[in-house]
Structure 1
Amino acid sequence: MRVVSWNIHWGCGKDGRIRIHAVIDVLRKLNPDVICLQEVAGNHPELEGSATASQFKQLAGAFGGYHMIEQAPSEIYKNNLPRQFGNILLSKYRITQAQRHMLPWPADPEHPSGMPRGMIETVLEAPGGKLRVLTTHLEYYSPLQRRAQVRRIRELHREACARARIYQSEPDLDPPFQLGFRPGSAIFCGDFNFAPDAEDYQELVAPVEPDTLRLLDAWRVRHGDMARAPTAGLHGFPWPERPACYDYFFVTEDLAARVNEVNVQSETAVSDHQPIVLDLV
């Protein structure tokens, strides 16, 4: 099972041109089973390069053999037209559940602007059984908001593990209640906007209650203390000032033995972030 996560920067390269077809080409070469994308735009002419097209529709059309879940936490209306910015999850595997979580966005006097953030959660019929795949893009500017979002992710994960322990099928209930099993086993991925030595990172992977599956950094599971490959700051983009890691895969501890490889595709320059790839056996 191969999962790719990538902040595509609305397909805008260093030259300020938008090339969604180049993003699509990179993804096709990687041949993932599940694709998780952040910073997908639709009808945003003011963004660099003028992101006037619906990239949600372009990506859905390019990967017609996949099932798509989209979420645009930032949805602004001008002249009654939605300008969307958010996340996509595309899966070759059957999706049995999907939830679109809005993450906390507390008022921060130090950073009064910003945009709402969200997380897509799916339950997939994957090799080896059902598991959850979740993708998100956390706050960059406000540490207060990002910390609240990390805590909410942990809360949602505790909830999923607790519900998995008590799940029982109740076929007599009305169809909207028939969600089926939602496992604790999960892969979390995306642009978390924190460094590996940050307090937010430490809080996300901190010990949990005995009945909750702990989240592990898949890079550390596979590579131990080996220097982490940067996921941003390459190819001469103005941000960040130097190569750094902001993008991650976190897996529940029961999946650790299945982590076969985690790597960063550093060659492409069609976004200010690099694709990251997780292979499970």
Structure 2
Amino acid sequence: MRVVSWNIHWGCGKDGRIRIHAIIDVLRKLNPDVICLQEVAANHPELEGSATANQFKQLAGAFGGYHAIDYAPSEIYRNNVPRLFGNLILSKYRITQAHRHSLPWPFDPVSPGMPRGAIEVVLDTPRGKLRLVTTHLEYYSALQRGAQVGRLRELHAQACARARAYVPNPEMDAPFQLGELPASAIYCGDFNLQPGAEEYEAMLAPPLSGELALVDAWRARHPDHARAPTAGLHGFAWPEKPDCYDYFFVTEDLRPRIGEVEVQSETGVSDHQPIVLDLV
């Protein structure tokens, strides 16, 4: 099973031009089973390069054999036309559940931030059902980012509790028949935090409610190697130096299945690099 997570910067390269076809080419070469994208835009002419196209539809159309689940927590209307900015999951595997979570957005007088969210899906993989969550946390406000990490941990605890208690009940009405939320999970995306930061440690804090512990897949696979940067390459103005902002966190039961975790550093079509997780 191969999962790719990538903040695509609405397809805008360092020259200020939008090339969604270049994003698609990179993804096709990586040949993932599941694609998790952040900073997908639609009808946003004011973004650098003028992101007027509906990139959610462009990307879903380019991967027609994949199931598409999108969520744009930033939804602004101008002349009754929605301007969307958010996340997208594309999956070769059958998706049996999808949940769109609005993450906390507490008022911060220092930095307003923007609405943030997470997509949670249940995948029917050859090795059984697996939960996958992709998100893009706040960059400018540590207050908001910390609250968002806390909510992700709450959602994880809730899912694990449901997995422990789930019993099928065919007498219940269809909307209640969502089925099992598996405890085994992958959390990925642009977390906008650096290794060792307070929010990073909070994401990996020991379980308090009996849930499966989360581990940093890179650290589990490469304990003796320096972490590869996921941003700050290819001459983009941000950030000032190469650093890591993008992660795969997996539940501890998946640790033995981690085949490889890599950062694809060659491409320069976004200010972030695609990161790849292979589970055997």
Alignment TM-score, normalising by the size of structure 1: 0.99
1:106 shift after superposition: 0.3
For 1:115 and 1:159, the matched residues in 2 are separated by 25
> Unmatched 5+ residue regions in structure 2?
none
> Unmatched 5+ residue regions in structure 1?
none
1:127 shift after superposition: 2.2
For 1:210 and 1:135, the matched residues in 2 are separated by 22
Q: Give the 3-state SS of the residue equivalent to 1:250 in structure 2.
A: strand
In the other structure, the counterpart of 1:245 is: 244
Q: Give the 3-state SS of the residue equivalent to 2:163 in structure 1.
A: helix
For 2:42 and 2:82, the matched residues in 1 are separated by 8
For 2:75 and 2:122, the matched residues in 1 are separated by 25
For 1:187 and 1:30, the matched residues in 2 are separated by 19
Alignment map for 1:1-281 (pairs within 5 Å): 1-111=1-111, 113-209=112-208, 211-281=210-280
Q: Give the 3-state SS of the residue equivalent to 1:10 in structure 2.
A: helix
For 1:121 and 1:192, the matched residues in 2 are separated by 15
1:210 shift after superposition: 6.1
**Where in structure 1 do 4 or more consecutive aligned residues deviate above 4 Å?**
none
For 2:174 and 2:184, the matched residues in 1 are separated by 25
**Paired residues, what number?**
280
For 1:257 and 1:127, the matched residues in 2 are separated by 16
1:240 is matched by which residue type in structure 2? Answer: P
Residue deviations 1:131-165 (CA, integer Å, cap 9, x gap): 10100000000000000000000000000000100
For 2:102 and 2:174, the matched residues in 1 are separated by 25
Q: Give the 3-state SS of the residue equivalent to 2:148 in structure 1.
A: helix
1:57 is matched by which residue type in structure 2? Answer: K
Residue deviations 1:169-188 (CA, integer Å, cap 9, x gap): 01111111111111010000
Aligned residues of 2:10 and 2:51 also touching (Cα < 8 A): yes
1:211 shift after superposition: 1.9
For 2:127 and 2:174, the matched residues in 1 are separated by 27
- What is the aligned-residue identity percentage? 76
Aligned residues of 2:157 and 2:209 also touching (Cα < 8 A): no
For 1:85 and 1:209, the matched residues in 2 are separated by 34
For 1:205 and 1:196, the matched residues in 2 are separated by 11
1:109 shift after superposition: 1.2
2:40 is matched by which residue type in structure 1? Answer: V
RMSD between superposed Cα atoms in Å: 0.7
For 1:226 and 1:43, the matched residues in 2 are separated by 42
Alignment TM-score, normalising by the size of structure 2: 0.99
Q: Give the 3-state SS of the residue equivalent to 1:17 in structure 2.
A: coil
